[in-house]
């Protein structure tokens, strides 16, 4: 459904999209800091808060914020769909000429908005942040570092190292992302896939302000797999490569056997024959698996359809309603 404003191109300059899952402890502080920064920027903006099925006071706080602040839009999902899905929901409801994606636990400092906007005004369509330092446990840091390096090594795309979801996207990029219907979303990858002029801004990632990380180990592993499998056919090709190695070994062994039969020596040991058979069969099976994998990959790329999230309610910021804006305009005229 196109909003009346969309047709008039009368949209806020920036939308700030924040997914929230049980973030009642940080939300007031986040809102305060965002409001300060946005007031300093002095441009038309909207805040899009996505409630990803929170079970704490987050929905209540959002209701209050929506009542108080005309720029606050809330999107309530029907249940908890996960961080990436919540970000996508926010992207789909953001109307700004530029959209900033950030976490709701203050690990992404709202004060970074200024450099992000500066990059955008310099003509970059994607301004993403790169974490120079993380204030997290050694194990988690090591895993993150390893993940990004493996992803980079095997992925078909140039996904920047240590870049997170915290970024600014021009509306052109947002429209491009909206047209990517896949369900297992890995936004950093999709963002790299989208292309456009991209700029990196380094920042030091703060520690979580309050509460605990909403990512369980399982959710993190799933995200890592979405990144690896979604942007690389390499794991599927592994079987093909192993099959090829087996095949080369088999040819080599066959040559040896043939050599010894034709040469002066006696019949080759039966163990050698068995090994040769194992190699030939193994190579055949592995290659077969590899081919299956290639088809699987293509099916994976093609199969889409189920939505990645379901919205139960949208409350638009009152400051962004069409009627209000027109009244403003006529009062200026
Ligand atoms: N989040 C969400 N849905 C989820 C998990 C997380 O909307 O199922 C939000 C969360 O409220 C936060 C952001 O996504 O604003 C990042 O989550 P978190 O801080 O737990 O991730 P981490 O920083 O540990 O990677
Ligand atoms: Mg966090």
pLDDT along the chain (333 residues), means of 10: 48 94 94 93 92 94 93 94 93 95 91 93 93 78 83 80 88 90 80 88 80 79 80 77 85 83 72 82 81 75 62 76 46 37
Ligand 1: nearest atom to the Cα of 23:
11
pTM of structure = 0.72
User: What spacing in Å lies between the alpha carbon of 108 and ligand 2's midpoint?
Assistant: 8
Question: Is 294 in a helix, a strand, or coil?
Answer: helix
User: What spacing in Å lies between the alpha carbon of 104 and ligand 2's midpoint?
Assistant: 8
User: Which residues in the chain belong to E strands, given as ranges?
Assistant: 14-20, 45-51, 72-77, 98-101, 126-134, 163-170, 198-205, 311-315
CA-CA distance, 275 to 103, in Å (whole number)? 56
User: How much is the pLDDT for 330?
Assistant: 41
Question: What Cα–Cα distance (Å) separates residue 122 from each residue in 24, 118, 200?
Answer: 36, 6, 13
User: How much is the pLDDT for 58?
Assistant: 95
User: What spacing in Å lies between the alpha carbon of 131 and ligand 2's midpoint?
Assistant: 13
User: What spacing in Å lies between the alpha carbon of 217 and ligand 2's midpoint?
Assistant: 13
Mutate to test the pocket of ligand 1, among 22, 76, 101, 103 (most ligand atoms within 8 A of CB): 103
Mutate to test the pocket of ligand 1, among 214, 221, 226 (most ligand atoms within 8 A of CB): 214
123: left (phi over 0), alpha (psi -120 to 50) or beta: left
User: What spacing in Å lies between the alpha carbon of 333 and ligand 2's midpoint?
Assistant: 46
User: How much is the pLDDT for 79?
Assistant: 94
User: How much is the pLDDT for 202?
Assistant: 87
Give residue 89's Cα distance to chain centre: 13
Ligand nearest to the CA of 309: 1
Mutate to test the pocket of ligand 1, among 215, 216, 217 (most ligand atoms within 8 A of CB): 215
Ligand 1: nearest atom to the Cα of 20:
11
Question: Is 72 in a helix, a strand, or coil?
Answer: strand
């Amino acid at each position: 459904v196109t909003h009346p404003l969309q047709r008039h191109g009368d949209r806020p300059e920036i939308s700030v999209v924040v997914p929230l899952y049980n973030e009642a402890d940080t939300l007031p502080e986040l809102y305060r800091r965002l409001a300060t920064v946005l007031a300093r920027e002095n441009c038309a903006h909207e805040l899009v808060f996505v409630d990803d099925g929170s079970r704490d006071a987050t929905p209540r706080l959002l209701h209050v914020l929506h009542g108080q602040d005309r720029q606050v839009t809330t999107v309530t999902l029907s249940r908890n769909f996960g961080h990436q899905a919540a970000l996508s929901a926010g992207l789909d409801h953001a109307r700004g000429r530029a959209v900033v994606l950030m976490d709701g636990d203050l690990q992404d400092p709202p004060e970074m908005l200024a450099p992000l906007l500066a990059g955008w005004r310099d003509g970059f369509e994607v301004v993403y942040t790169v974490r120079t330092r993380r204030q997290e446990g050694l194990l988690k840091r090591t895993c993150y570092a390893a993940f990004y390096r493996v992803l980079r090594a095997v992925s078909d795309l140039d996904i920047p190292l240590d870049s997170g979801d915290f970024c600014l996207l021009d509306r052109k990029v947002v429209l491009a992302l909206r047209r990517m219907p896949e369900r297992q979303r890995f936004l950093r990858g999709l963002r790299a896939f989208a292309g456009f002029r991209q700029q990196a801004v380094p920042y030091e990632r703060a520690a979580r302000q309050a509460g605990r990380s909403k990512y369980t180990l399982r959710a993190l592993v799933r995200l890592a797999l979405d990144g690896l499998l979604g942007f690389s056919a390499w794991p599927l090709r592994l079987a093909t490569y192993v099959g090829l190695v087996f095949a080369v070994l088999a040819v080599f062994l066959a040559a040896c056997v043939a050599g010894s039969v034709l040469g002066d020596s006696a019949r080759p040991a039966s163990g050698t024959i068995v090994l040769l058979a194992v190699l030939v069969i193994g190579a055949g099976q592995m290659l077969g698996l590899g081919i299956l994998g290639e088809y699987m990959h293509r099916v994976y790329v093609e199969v889409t359809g189920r939505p990645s999230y379901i919205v139960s309610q949208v409350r638009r910021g009152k400051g962004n309603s069409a009627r209000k804006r027109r009244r403003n305009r006529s009062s200026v005229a």
